[in-house]
Amino acid sequence: MRGAGRVAVAVVLALAPVRPAAAIDITFDYSLDAGGLFSNPQAVAALDQAAAYFEAFLDDLDAITPGGGNSWTASFTNPGTGSAASVVDLGVLQDEVYIFAGSRSIPGSTLGIGGPGGFSFSSATLPFATAIQSRGEFAFGTPPASRTDFGMWGGSVAFDTGASWNFDIAGGPSLAQVDFLSVAIHELAHVFGFGTADSFDNLIDFGPDPAEFTGSASVLEWGGAVPLEADPDPGHWAEGTLSSYLGSPQEAAMDPSISGGMRKYLTDLDYAGLTDIGWQVVMLPEPERGLLVAAALMLLTGLASMPRSRRRPPVSGRPRPRPRSRARRRAPRRSRDFVRASG
């Protein structure tokens, strides 16, 4: 069946861009889920689906491997309590992002809170220090005002136990429900630096009122500098910012709020913003289509008996361990909330 094999290989190659060889792998840690939201398998599945949009990104993130004198502390907001938390010598694999996911009763209309974690260390080689600060996305010691890229070990996302959540990915929310997938996508974007990274802050023009985002991909997508939510702390697009998703108009995922019954995927403008802060974004198709493509790929590889190579390209030459860097401490990045729109 040589001919059939060749046909199958051609189809697999044509579909290849949908499933990049090198991609990010998000690990969720539910051990701090005080509110118990993630004891519901539907909640876990919806968060995994939200993660898939970010796992498609092509950045290579350095591993964090404590040991041999390298020691560090990861700091983050406990998603089950809202208090500061830390873990000593968390190991993070190459391209892995480690996120504590949990729930609690969050006061007011806030549906979710998300942000990247911080770190501290007292002694580390330069490669180790670079890995915990930026995962190799920028050189250790680059001043915050000069950073044009972003990389993090992970962080935390928290969701309100009091919201009337819709966890049904295919069905979508009723008017009385808040869509969990949409809020999860939003909070994960904050972990990935939207509104929280120095490379985001460095692209804010505080001259106009409201402040504007001047990243080149966003400006190209929007047709000019993009208005942000009102000062003093602009970490979202302006309320009601309209962009498009798969060619159809949609309110941006990264404006500050969501209404009942609304499903919001990452729009073209959201992807542009993530590009501007340093990510090599790859757009995923809608969930239904993604599942079909994955199933087709499995079938075709089975038919053609293709040896599947998922090996990463060799890691380029790393500098030998340097003298130990000075002690550094980095507070957890500020977290971002996402609120229910009134009315």
Distance from C-alpha of 321 to C-alpha of 170, rounded to nearest angstrom? 49
d(CA 95, CA 135): 9
Binding mask 304-343 for Zn ion (x = CB under 5 A): --------------------------------x-x-----
Report the nearest approach of Zn ion to the CB of residue 236 (Å). Answer: 5
x/- track of binding to Zn ion for residues 60-99 (CB under 5 A): ----------------------------------------
Shortest approach of Zn ion to residue 189 CB, angstroms?
8
Chain positions 36 to 55 lying near Zn ion, rule: CB under 5 A, are: none
Closest CA to 228 of 205, 253, 202, 246: 205
Q: Which is nearer to Zn ion, 57 or 338 (CB)?
A: 338
Cβ proximity to Zn ion, 222 vs 338, nearer residue:
338
Cβ proximity to Zn ion, 104 vs 336, nearer residue: 336
Minimum CB separation of residue 186 from Zn ion in Å reads 5
**Residue 234: CB minimum distance to Zn ion, A:** 11
Q: CB of residue 3 vs Zn ion: minimum separation in angstroms?
A: 53
By beta-carbon proximity to Zn ion, the closer residue of 102 and 115 is: 115
Q: Measured from the CB of residue 313, what is the shortest distance to Zn ion in angstroms?
A: 35
Rank residues 26 and 183 by Cβ distance to Zn ion and give the closer one: 183
CB nearer to Zn ion: give 61 or 185. Answer: 185
Number of residues that bind Zn ion (CB under 5 A): 2
Residue nearest to Zn ion (CB): 336
**Least distance to Zn ion, CB of residue 201, Å:** 15
What phi-psi label fits residue 260: left (phi over 0), alpha (psi between -120 and 50 degrees) or beta? beta
Neighbours of 102 (CB within 10 A): 26
312 versus 334: smaller Cβ distance to Zn ion: 334
* Contact flag: residue 200 with Zn ion (CB under 5 A): no
Closer CB to Zn ion, 135 or 336, in the complex: 336
Binding mask 211-250 for Zn ion (x = CB under 5 A): ----------------------------------------
Shortest CB 171 distance to Zn ion, Å: 25
For Zn ion, the binding residues (CB under 5 A) are: 336, 338
